[in-house]
Chain A
Amino acid sequence: MAQSEFALEAKGIGRRFGDFWAVKDVDLQIRRGSIHAMIGPNGAGKTTCFNLLTKTLQPSTGQIILNGEDISKLRTSDVARKGMARSFQISATFTELTALENVRVALQSGHGSAWRFWSPIRSIYSLNQRAEELLEQVGLSAARDMTSAELSYGKKRALEIATTLALEPEVMLLDEPTAGMGHEDIEPITALIRKVSAGRTILIVEHNLSVVSDLSDRITVLQAGQVLMEGTYAEVSSDERVIAAYMGGVDDAA
């Protein structure tokens, strides 16, 4: 298959809840190998948009195209196997499993071993080495045998990224990776995202504008469920409509 210029595209996607369109007529083009950010004031529809792209929600309208293939009708689990993996806004780890087991669950995806209820756990120790490599990549080697409930918030996020990486996704969607993080955790996570972006396409929803300016090649600004504009950080941050939208958002919140 000829590699198209865009790893992920959305054409006119929308989602309606009752009479309310949370996302309406959104077009997105995520260039292969880039880090693309989606920003917007609270309630702009970022997370809904994100959930539509990963098929956690079914779109009411429009098409989603991953590597030239229409994935609009597929399930989340199928999308994951086609090379697009996501993280969650609220850290999503398996709390009572150890860090190693967390990553190993993802490694079992498509491994066939996942159905073996009659085999001892030893039978998948062959996956441990790969899991350890992934933990090392995110700096969690020391936490290998700790349950994820015992990890700090920042480390949980790192573990989640290691778990996502286990799928070896071509396209990674990160939903507010720094949400709720203290200052000391933000920098390592940003560095980690940059590190894992090599050879991948990343779409990131993020509130923290310094993280956005730091990481992203292109930025899409959403407002009231629609695309306000798209451009580089310099273009976006100097656009009056964007400034007004953010100011408006602040006013609404106050």
Chain B
Amino acid sequence: MRIALILIGAALALAAPFFVYPVLLMTILCFVIFAASFNLLLGYVGLLCFGQAMFLGLSAYIAGQILKTTGISIELAIMAAALVSAALGAFVGFVAVRRSGIQFAMITFAFAQFVYFLLLQSEFTGGEDGMQGIPRTHLFGIIDISDSRTFYYFVLAMTVLAIFVVYRVVHSPFGEILKAIRDNEPRVESLGFRPERFKILAMTISAGLAGFAGALKATVFGFATLTDVSWTVSGEVILMTLLGGLGTLTGPMVGAGIIILMNDELAQFGEWALIAQGIILILVILFLRRGVVGEAGALVRRMKARRAK
């Protein structure tokens, strides 16, 4: 059953660029990674980072700057930018993890606003105009991927890699400790662990993944803007995760897909996209506590239980 679903998903993902505009698909994939990075913190450690966009946006600019000035191959630029975000994540984590709940959220928010301001004022980012003309250099220095459809497969491969990283972390010995911290932090401490250290590493990994998404996104569009660092994007990723299903591996991916498609459809109506997001958030909180994927999973379990009887 599960394998069949994965195969169908793979077939759809491979065939999609022949039916749907590749740039839209790539946007979805970037946000799939971004939402997965956010879910790693909120869903598996219980940390609400209300500044996830700083990792996305900073990395977009860094990757852009590297590609514009050095011309090194694209995968190296993306990796380097992701590492910068990971380092920022480690630093923010170091300051913030001693706090929990709303205080943690506010500290991360403050950092994100600070990063926004720095990028706005910096010379190299182009300020409010954003950074334009980021080139797509060759993959591994030799493979030409400038064509949108070819590039889509590169982004798809990177997404699979990123999701695998999340899967590995969640289902690792380390991941088991993270879930224990989420469920009962004082207890973890009483068992001889230092929970804050585990949280810092989790934030580092999450920020690295968010940065990975941001760098990828910069190469998709060929530009980086302040929107990627803005607090609305930090808010949007919360909505994606909750809509899809917190603490499930596939939930945030589905949520990211729905929100991006909806934004795309509603873009012509201007502010309506935001209003629709607000309404969806209310509906999810009222009726879909576990998100789309979480509720679907619960439904399947109920049906199985009924059949077992």
Contacts and interface: CB of A to CB of B under 8 A. Distances in A.
A105 B177 contact: yes
Contacts of B169: 117-118
Contacts of A85: 190-191
Contacts, number: 102
Contacts of A114: 173-174, 177, 193, 198
A96 B183 contact: yes
Contact of A118 (B168, B182, B188, B192): B168
A117 B183 contact: no
B191 A117 contact: no
A142 interface: no
A56 to B, nearest CB: 7
B173 A123 contact: yes
A81 B179 contact: no
Contacts of A117: 168-169, 172-175, 201, 205
A3 to B, nearest CB: 22
B172 A105 contact: no
A94 B189 contact: no
A78 B193 CA distance: 8
Interface in A73-109: 75-78, 80-81, 85-86, 88, 92-97, 101-102, 104-106, 108-109
A182 interface: no
A121 B190 contact: no
Contacts of A163: 191
A95 B168 CA distance: 22
Contact of A56 (B173, B184, B186, B198): B186
Given A94-B180, A94-B183, A96-B183, A118 B172 contact: yes
Instruction: Determine the interface band of chain A, counting residues with CB < 8 A from chain B.
Output: 35 or more
Nearest to B175: A117
B176 A106 contact: no
B187 interface: yes
A18 interface: no
Contacts of B179: 94, 96-97
B306 interface: no
A39 interface: no
A104 B175 CA distance: 12
A108 B193 CA distance: 9
Given A56-B186, A92-B186, 8 more contacts: A76-B190, A80-B189, A97-B180, A105-B176, A116-B172, A119-B173, A121-B176, A163-B191
30 contacts: A75-B194, A78-B192, A80-B189, A80-B192, A85-B190, A88-B186, A92-B187, A93-B184, A94-B179, A94-B180, A94-B183, A94-B184, A95-B183, A95-B184, A96-B179, A96-B182, A97-B179, A102-B180, A104-B176, A105-B188, A109-B191, A114-B193, A115-B174, A116-B172, A116-B173, A118-B169, A119-B172, A121-B175, A121-B176, A124-B176
